Amino acid sequence: MSERVDVGDKMPDVAMETPDGGSVKASDFAGQKLVLFFYPKDDTPGCTTENKDFTALKGDFDAAGVALLGVSKDPPAKHQKFAAKHDLAAPLASDPVENGLADALGIWVEKNMYGRKYMGMERTTYLVGPDGKIAQVWRKVKVKGHAQAVLEAAKAL
């Protein structure tokens, strides 16, 4: 397993697919602050709450000059349905199944539920500075209050 990318490191520049069929990567946000929030799966309770929380604060992130991007391994079509169903304003991206950004960051990890081992996304948020370097990392995120804490940190950066 590779070393985890951490504070002070450059955000890896791995292309991800957007729901509209385009692509996006960290370098597209050069010169501005970026919050990348990785979550396990569209339309599950915690992930839906997290996306709604970031959506509720999107105006505040915009006002602070901070771009938002929610990321999971779900395919673009699923992201479209998820965003439409919950009226999500924070943009979403689909991380490639293999050798994606989550792999580069070390957050595509083995999980264990009820004795069953499987690969899954570790809920993690990265605050990236205008220089493309990681300013703060939240690992194994607890959803309640998280989006607000990220906003405060982004404003302070």
What residues are labeled active site?
47
Residue 144 phi/psi, 5° resolution?
Answer: -60, 120
What does the alpha-carbon distance between residue 98 and residue 88 come to, in Å, rounded to a whole number? 26
CB atoms within 10 A of CB 52: 17
Token reading at 109: 């990890």
Specify the DSSP element, H or E, that contains 51.
helix 45-56
Contact 97, 73 (CB under 8 A): yes
What does the alpha-carbon distance between residue 57 and residue 8 come to, in Å, rounded to a whole number? 26
What does the alpha-carbon distance between residue 93 and residue 77 come to, in Å, rounded to a whole number? 11
